[in-house]
Structure 1
Amino acid sequence: MKKTTKKKKKEEKQNRTAMEPDRLEKQCFHAVRKHFAVLGTEAVLDLPTPLIKDLLPHLTVCQLDEVQPALNRRGLSTYSGWFEILQDLVGPSRALDFRTEEEAKHEVMLRLFTSVFYRLRNSYVLKNSIHLNTNSFLTAAAKSVHHFILIPCIHQALQALTWDQQPLLALLEKHIRSVHVNHFLSLTENKTQGALYVLHRLLDHGVTTNLVVSIDCPLALAWLLHGRGSQYVNLELKKLMCWGSQTLSPSEDAVRCSPGDESTPSDNLSDHVSPCKRAKLYSESLEEEEDKSGVSSVAVDPHVLCHTFNPCAGPSAGTCTFGQITHLEIRTCGPDSLNGLGFTLPTFFCLQSLTLHSKSIFRESDVLDFAGALKQLSDSSCSSLVHLNIGLLPHIGLMKTLLNASPRLTSLYVEFQTVMWGPQFNLDHLGTAEPDISAELPLEKLTVKVTQLQTDPHFLTSVLRRCPYLTSLHIAGMRLPTGSSQSHLLSTLSESNRCLKALNLEDIKLCDCLPDILKLLRGCMLEELYFIDCRLLERCINPKKSLLELVAVLKIPSLHTLSLAQNRLARNVCVLAELFSGSSQSSLKQLDIKSNFIRPADLLEFAERLRDLQPPHRLTLDLRKNPGDRDPDIWNTALQTLQPFSLVLVEGWKSNDTMVDHISNM
């Protein structure tokens, strides 16, 4: 008993002795972090390279940002530091797929800037409040983020940006390229004027050209688009702008903005009186007037707002110009918003990319009206629109309608969902009615997502035959009538789309199409290939043999990304190691095999085989949603075996969740 006790004490002493250098090192790193300002950047840069690499995960956001330029000049990356912060932000169980230093840094800065600016507390911000709740952090973050999330309901933060933090707003003007309005934007409440002014500064004074809107508010959309590309004037918005002009000069502008006057409110501003003082002077009378008329008297004209919040600009500043929007995304697009956009489109010449998505299915009549507006825009030689993303559409026949309305598109994303009520659509005339049905299309990227019980593949294959320059194709959810096969689709790709570099087939049954798949892969030079939930091995008499045949043709020299997620590979995963065997090794850099019910023992066998073959490039291996907790020791051994030659993406798995098990093993 005494011997056992002595032995334990000896082991504990040895462990403490072994841990002392690590503890000392961490204490030193924490001291550097705490006294960084006193030590200075140069003192950190003078450290040996291995020590700098170990120090990076311990530095604050601002410290990382400060040392990054000098380290980059020395060929050192700060990726490990940004990754450590990201891991702390999202939690250890979530896999992070940011492969470059800049991607990781931008994600960190965007998350933290939004949280600190709007005072949205999370555990990381609370834990690091001393380092984050400073103007220096907001300034550093503003130089690194390119995307600004505008939350109009948090008035205090935006109001501070318009008054106390004008230098920060000026900095955002220079760096923000994309603005996301993610909350209802009222044009009739005084408290949202700060949000309108910030939008005006970013959209009209800054470099922002990308606009994302997550609200379904036609009037707010009209304000956001007014003058920024389209020549269309919304009459309801014009009325509000006239009332706003009266807010600043009731004696003069009320006459000039009378009904029937075609001049814009911005032309009628008086430059001889301070707008700020007039707004305060007449505030009480205007509130009474609003109550009587039921119409808002809040200033919404961007130029009026600019003079209101920035009176120091004076008359010499002149009238603000409208900025242009080249990329527009509406994530909640209702019928009224779609209709309003239809009026805007014909003269929206600077628009290059348009994304429209609705939670409910668009009506066919609304889509046809929208296609008519697209046709008017396309007929103009000034049109710049090349990318269209729209859903949910009621049937796949409308894809040709949109392509014929805008035949110069180089990228199209369409999503369809069956209408479960109302009249059935006659698709026959939609496929043949257009006179230019066989005209060649310049499409380079095409994404088609279908949620229907059955789909006639003719509507898709006829489009594919018109797209000889197609380089990227993504098809998801296309289900055929019973007894039909996707071989017709695959043969069309082999014959008509030889320029393909990226092919993504998702939720499509391909278990009976192996010969067609092999023929397609032998005749193309793909760089990215995704077979996601395609039931590749379903009903195969010899799954291992079939997978070996597929692996043999997947050794395409150009292929660098391969996904076989959700294909129930299970124990057959070991076959994939043969990608790197023989004289013609695969050049893969990314392999996605998540959700394949790969057990720990099978992963270990796969890892050991890969270790023996040694892939020519460091492999990013996605193993998420596989049952690693069935035997954690073996699973961790497999991960350690993979570590020297791969970056492994893993997430937590709970095997006691029987539904997850069932789905992965179906």
Structure 2
Amino acid sequence: MDHAVEDAGGTATLFELCARVVNANMEKLEQDVWGLPAVILQGILPLLNIYYLERIEQTAVKKGLSTQSIWCKLWNDIMKSKPSRFGTVKCWRKKFLEAFFHNVLRGILKVSSDQRLNDQRFSPLVHSAPHVTELTICNKQQGVSELTPPVLECLARSVESLKFLHLRSSDQATQRSLRLLLHRLVHHGQVNRVSLLSWPSPDTNLLLLILSVSAGVWQKQASCPCTLCLKKSLNLNSDELQEKRPETGLLQSSSSADLSNMHSKNNVEEDMGSQSALLSLQPLNISHSVVTDCSDHSSAENPPRRVSRSTHSRKATCHKSLLPPNTFGSKVASTSRKNLKSGADIQDSIRSNPDDLYDFIFSVPSAGEGEALNTNKGYKESANEKPSEVSTVPLFDDLPPVEERRVISPIPDGAHHFRSVRALNLHNVPLTLSSCHFLCHLLRSWVSLERLTMAYNDLGANIFLIVEALSALSRCPGCSLSMFSMSDFTTHVPTLDLANTILTTFPSLQLLSLSYDLENHNEKETSEDISAEFKENQLKQLEIRFPQDPLPVGHLVSVLKASTFLLELSLDNATFSCTEDLKCVLRTLAEHNKALKRLSFHDMKMTDMHNEIVLLLNSSSLEEIKFSFCRLFEKGTDEFLAAFVGALRRNPSVKILKLCGNRLGNDGLAALADLYNPDSLSSVHYLDVSSNCIKPEGLLHFAKKLERGGKIKLRHLSVSQNLLDRDPVMAQEALQSLEGVCCVVSDNWDSAQVFADHVNGM
């Protein structure tokens, strides 16, 4: 069998010829092949196409054979690209088949291009779908219309995350297919996370469709019914379907009869594939109660004018009855009044039961009823009575007199509530006032939502609507939100005041991340009116990127003292009025945040914080420290450098130390080498000293000191963007010496060119 013979393809062994014949007849020989001895099977595996190679996986594993090298070769031959994090691919089989599915779906890869991919007995999409855990849909949703029921069935069992990337408008047929895809994977599948990324000009139809399905809202379509829904309908009484919401246990108050009355004059299309029903309904303003105009001139002869809160409103303030007291200052409220603009007129008013959750959210009493809803307590007050102080500040004022109008729910009649996702990510998806209202309606009762990420949504003053919706969500039984992240270019409310409001609303929040790049107000000035202290919370991770304004240190210290369970803290771009303020923050961390494990300060001036930094190192159990571009050693003295290294030598808990951009220099790097002396207790195994003006001679001196240190704990060293190009030969000698000790990350940084660019930019 080892003899070479001639065939059409050149010289091949007899074994290879037999293996090719077996491969060509796998349809008949598959079971026999599975029973072959491992030594023979090992030679056949590389010749199988991807379909039989995938089917034989379990048999190969039982015989002690691995197919990973074969799948890796397939990736290199067919995908022709280096995957991200190349060295950490745990399963090349899954990696290949998941990418194969997406490329075939989008028409990028033709199975006829390679015989290892082409087999008329198999469907490429059905075969690879079980390996897709994250389904990515791009551009005009290419290929979605080709997802047959068998493919959807496979995806429903495997897909856990849906990602929409660079979406563009599509035709009606594609949107109908996408609608069914979303319903099958979210409502009847395993999808727990939905991400919308890089969608600068979102299509309203498509955006509302994705949001509503993600929240579990579904309008059944008579023309194209869901077979799973039909089966469920046979087993459940129609009354039960109207009264109970799966998973939440909340009563579905907006019954078909109530919604039918709301839309008696305008029948809603059942086909939500085009989302015409949603677009025909003006979303109700997030403020869902009627308030009175509390003018100082009101009296018994001139009762306060009552207005309906709606998208018709032109100005807004932060309602003290809807948000925790003493959070937003009066100047911030005036900002919101300037930014919230009016929408289209809404229609006739309807009666609603304030005790009913959904009617309470989606409707308001008519102007002729002479009643107002108190949003805190849910009861009605007579318009002739003086409202309580807590409800006298209108969220929307200066409205013109209105006739009897109706506020229409954005959820069409006949809508049902199904399974909803646990994580929603909206990144670079601008939200208009209308779409923001719609999202807020969903958020109010989205009790399964655990993680909400909103980044660069151009919210402006609409941020108040989001916070108010989350406040309503926090009052729902079973609310699961534990992580909230919000980023944008500008902020219409001081960052720490926003943090106070959110933490007051959600004291059980585990992670809070707020990031604003540019200032749109004076943080210190607007915060002078705020005297509220942060209440005790359950935060484990706090990340804040501040605008340029000086921070009120009292607020920052307050949140740190209230967050006694904090494990991770990240402060970025924090500016203080004086050095004593930052010293106070560092002392607070050392005294009150004993559980802190990871600390990150970025772009903060810490030149004169020497004693406080040493105190923090001596009194904490930190495992990871990051001081990046903090000018830590700008005025570094030998005394501080020795104290800094000495504190680390005595600290066995710190394992990761990142000091990039702190002007460490050659002397500072040499001092850090003492961390690895035999008498040191330091456990630092990850060291980042990039961008620290280190020259080749300094790096070589560091390497020589490590060689004399004996057993070294250092496993990772980053020396990127230093001055190593000053003497390439010496730098190469130092790098080679270090590579024998640890993994070294370096680069070919041209320091002269960078300096020239810096001078030209001045």
TM-score, L = length of structure 2: 0.60
1:561 is aligned to 656
Give the 5 Å matches for 1:114-513. 114-115=102-103, 117-120=105-108, 142-155=129-142, 157-161=143-147, 163=148, 167-184=150-167, 186=169, 189-214=172-197, 215=199, 216-217=202-203, 219-226=205-212, 228-229=214-215, 245=222, 260=262, 322-331=418-427, 332-336=429-433, 337-358=435-456, 360=458, 362-364=459-461, 366-392=462-488, 393-394=491-492, 395-396=494-495, 397-420=497-520, 426-430=526-530, 432=531, 434=532, 437-481=533-577, 484-513=580-609
**Which ranges of structure 2 fall in alignment gaps of 5 or more residues?**
1-11, 24-32, 41-45, 226-256, 282-414
What letter corresponds to residue 649 of structure 1 in structure 2? V
How far, CA to CA, are the matches of 1:119 and 1:631 in structure 2?
A: 50
Q: Using a 3 Å threshold, how does the CA distance of structure 1 residues 609 and 150 change in structure 2: closer, same or farther?
A: same
SS of equivalent to 1:226: helix
| Residue aligning to 1:550 | 644
Which piece of structure 1 moves more, 495-504 or 642-651?
642-651
| Contact kept in structure 1, 2:138 and 2:166, CA below 8 Å | yes
Q: CA deviation digits over 1:348-370, x for unaligned, max 9?
A: 1111111112254x334x22332
Amino acid of the structure 2 residue aligned with 1:363: G
**SS where residue 591 of structure 1 aligns?**
strand
> Which secondary structure state, in structure 2, belongs to the residue aligned with residue 550 of structure 1?
helix
The letter for the 2-side match of 1:554 is L
Offset of residue 295 of structure 1: 8.6
Structure 2 CA distance for aligned equivalents of residues 588 and 62 of structure 1:
48
Deviation, 1:174, is: 2.1
CA deviations over 1:103-157 (Å, ceiling 9, x no partner): 9987777666545542458xxx99x9666788798778655553221115142x2
What's 2:406 paired with?
Answer: none
Change over 3 Å in CA distance of 1:88–1:187 after alignment to 2? closer
Task: Give a deviation string over 1:559-593, Cα, whole Å, max 9, x none.
Answer: 22221122232323233222211323432332223
Which stretch of structure 1 is more off in the superposition, 72-81 or 603-612?
72-81
CA distance in 1, matches of 2:729, 2:130: 45
Match of 2:692 among 583, 592, 596: 596
Per-residue displacement from partner, 1:533-570 (whole Å, max 9, x unpaired)?
1111012244xx53342222224323222211222323
Residue type at the aligned position of 1:175: S
When residues 258 and 495 of structure 1 are mapped into structure 2, their CA distance, relative to the original with a 3 A threshold, is closer
Higher helix residue share: 1
Q: Which has the larger radius of gyration?
A: 2
Give the Å deviation of 1:68.
11
Alignment of 1:49-88 (within 5 A): none
> 1: CA distance between counterparts of 2:510 and 2:528?
26
CA distance in 1, matches of 2:675, 2:63: 37
Q: Kindly tell me: are residues 409 and 653 of structure 1, through their superposed partners in 2, closer, same or farther at Cα, counting changes over 3 Å? A: same
CA distance 1:173–1:259, shift in 2 (3 Å) = same
Once structures 1 and 2 are overlaid, which stretch shifts more, 207-216 or 650-659?
650-659
Output the amino acid matched with 2:135.
F
Q: After superposition, what is the alpha-carbon deviation per residue over 1:268-293, rounded to whole angstroms, capped at 9, x for unaligned?
A: 89xxxxxxxxx9xxxxxx9xxx9xxx
**Deviation (angstroms), 1:615:** 5.2
Question: 1:618-657 alignment to 2 at 5 Å?
Answer: 619-655=715-751, 657=753
Distance change in 2, residues 1:268/1:169 (3 Å): closer
Per-residue CA deviations over 1:430-481 (Å, capped at 9, x if unaligned) read 3x2x5xx352111111001113142222222211111111111111110112
Partner amino acid, structure 1, of 2:498: L
Which segment is superposed worse, 63-72 or 515-524? Answer: 63-72
SS at match of 1:388: strand
Query: Hey, what's the Cα distance between the residues in 1 that align with 2:93 and 2:189?
Result: 22
Identity of paired residues, percent? 23
Seen in structure 2, the aligned counterparts of structure 1 residues 483 and 579 have a Cα distance that, compared at 3 Å, is closer
Q: CA RMSD in A?
A: 5.2
Whole-angstrom CA distance in 1 between matches of 2:663 and 2:71: 36
**Gaps in structure 1 of 5+ consecutive residues:** 1-26, 48-55, 234-240, 249-255, 270-278, 280-285, 297-318
Q: Is the 8 A contact 2:524 2:549 kept in 1?
A: no
2:520 matched to 1:533?
A: no
Secondary structure class of the residue paired with 2:569: strand
Deviation digits for residues 170-226 of structure 1 (CA, Å, limit 9, x no counterpart): 333222211111233658732333333333332223211101112345543432233
Give the AA of the match of 1:551: V
Report if aligned partners of 1:142, 1:171 keep a CA contact under 8 Å in 2: yes
Q: Which moved more, 1:421-430 or 1:400-409?
A: 421-430
Residue type matched to 2:708 in 1? D
**What is the CA–CA distance in structure 1 between the aligned matches of 2:67 and 2:679, rounded to whole Å?**
34
**What is the DSSP-based 3-state SS (H/G/I as helix, E as strand, rest coil) of the residue aligned with 2:419?**
coil
Does structure 1 retain, via aligned residues, the 8 Å contact 2:661–2:691? yes
Are the aligned partners of 2:561 and 2:588 in contact in 1 as well (CA < 8 Å)? Answer: yes
Segment drifting more, 487-496 vs 650-659: 650-659
Q: Is the 8 A contact 1:68 1:78 kept in 2?
A: no
SS of the equivalent of 1:429 reads coil
Structure 1 pair 295–326 and aligned structure 2 pair: CA distance change class (3 A): closer
Q: Deviations over 1:496-537 (max 9, x none)?
A: 111101111111111211211111111111122111111110
Letter in 2 for 1:102: K
With 592-601 and 339-348 compared, the bigger mean Cα shift is at 592-601
Q: What corresponds to 1:52 in structure 2? A: none
Residues 627, 655 of structure 1: 8 Å contact kept: yes
Q: Distance in 1 between matches of 2:679 and 2:78?
A: 43
Q: 2:676 aligns with which of 567, 580, 584?
A: 580
When normalised by structure 1's length, the TM-score is: 0.68
Check whether the contact 2:519–2:547 (CA below 8 A) recurs between aligned residues: no
Distance 1:341 1:64, change over 3 A: same
Q: 1:379: Cα distance to partner?
A: 1.9
Distance 1:563 1:64, change over 3 A: farther
Aligned mates of 1:486, 1:83 — CA distance in 2: 55
Count of residue pairs brought into register by the alignment:
553
Return the alpha-carbon distance in structure 2 between the equivalents of residues 533 and 41 of structure 1: 60
Letter in 1 for 2:502: L
Q: Distance in 1 between matches of 2:169 and 2:183?
A: 15
